[in-house]
């Protein structure tokens, strides 16, 4: 990767990912780590809605990107011969998966992330179209939204880290957030995993791993304490602190080391 490419990649890693709070806080979805990074990458391409589009209700739902460029930005091995097959598999899963979204009138709508995907092997260009039902959760967001720079999640190794980071980021202005343990497990999509029924296992293999990555690689410091009734853990209270400038820079440097190590 030459200097121009490196500068372009670094610029794209600083793009902002913006999602409506309802999409982050209330929806349940099970996405792998590559799938979450791909959705974040696509969201980082969404531009602010101008006044004309807002009046006309016109939103850009179609986007395209180069597979090699995508791999460079996300820290994947861009010389790997499996890239084409891997990203096709990731995009297929995103096209096939759906989630329940709670609409403004209280109804629940089953929606997919992507409505169409086209991949050109010869050019290496991917064309995608977002599901139009996602418009209220991704476009023209006025107040209730979660925003972070793409680089915050790119160094993560655990899918739970990305999901928990977005949750914590959405509540960061409150400085703390308390979840019923069952609600937290549902949001992280581990409520059906028998091995996490015991809180010590959930804590060790989900929470502690996720918080270690969040605290090392992102702009947040997050800790938690348990709230018990008798000997049973009923709630988890998170403390969320924004890092100062120097710790944020150090976190990004740590992410850079991880991404460079993966090529």
Reading the chain (263 residues) residue by residue, the pLDDT tens digits are 778 888 999 999 999 999 999 889 988 888 999 999 999 999 999 987 665 455 455 688 999 999 999 999 998 887 777 888 899 999 999 999 888 777 777 788 888 899 999 999 899 999 999 998 888 889 877 778 999 999 999 999 999 999 999 999 999 999 999 999 999 999 999 998 999 999 999 999 999 999 999 999 999 999 999 999 998 999 999 999 999 999 999 999 999 999 987 54
- Domains of the chain, first to last: 1-154 (1.10.10.10), 156-263 (1.10.10.10)
Distance from C-alpha of 136 to C-alpha of 140, rounded to nearest angstrom: 7
127, 62 contact by CB (below 8 A): yes
Residue owning tokens 């011969």? 81
DSSP state of 28: B
β 145-149/125-130 pair status: unpaired
Q: How many residues does the chain have?
A: 263
Query: Quick one: pLDDT at residue 55?
Result: 44
Q: Which are the contacts of 78, defined by CB distance < 8 A and separation ≥ 6?
A: 68, 71, 72, 263
Q: Quick one: pLDDT at residue 102?
A: 74
Chain centroid to CA 45: 14
In contact, 255 and 217? CB cutoff 8 Å: yes
């Amino acid at each position: 990767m030459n200097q121009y490419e490196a500068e372009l990649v670094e610029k794209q890693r600083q793009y902002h990912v913006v999602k409506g709070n309802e999409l982050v806080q209330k929806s349940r979805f099970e996405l792998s780590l590559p799938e979450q990074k791909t959705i974040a990458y696509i969201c980082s391409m969404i531009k602010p809605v101008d006044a004309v589009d807002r009046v006309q209700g016109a939103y850009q739902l179609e986007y395209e990107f180069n597979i090699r460029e995508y791999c460079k930005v996300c820290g994947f091995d861009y010389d790997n011969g499996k890239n084409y097959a891997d990203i096709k598999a990731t995009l297929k899963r995103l096209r096939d998966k759906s989630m329940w979204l709670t609409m403004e009138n209280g109804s629940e709508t089953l929606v997919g992330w992507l409505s169409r995907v086209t991949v050109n092997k010869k050019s290496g260009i991917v064309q995608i179209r977002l599901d139009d039902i996602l418009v209220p959760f991704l476009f023209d967001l006025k107040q209730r939204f979660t925003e972070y720079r793409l680089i915050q999640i790119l160094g993560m190794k655990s899918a739970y880290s990305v999901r928990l980071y977005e949750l914590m980021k959405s509540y960061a202005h409150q400085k703390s957030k308390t979840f019923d343990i069952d609600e937290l497990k549902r949001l992280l999509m581990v409520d059906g995993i028998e091995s996490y029924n015991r809180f010590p296992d959930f804590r060790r293999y989900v929470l502690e791993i996720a918080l270690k990555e969040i605290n090392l690689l992102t702009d947040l410091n997050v800790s938690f304490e348990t709230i018990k009734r008798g000997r049973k853990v009923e709630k988890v209270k998170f403390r969320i602190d924004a890092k100062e400038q120097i710790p944020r820079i150090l976190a990004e440097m740590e992410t850079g080391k991880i991404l460079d190590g993966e090529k």
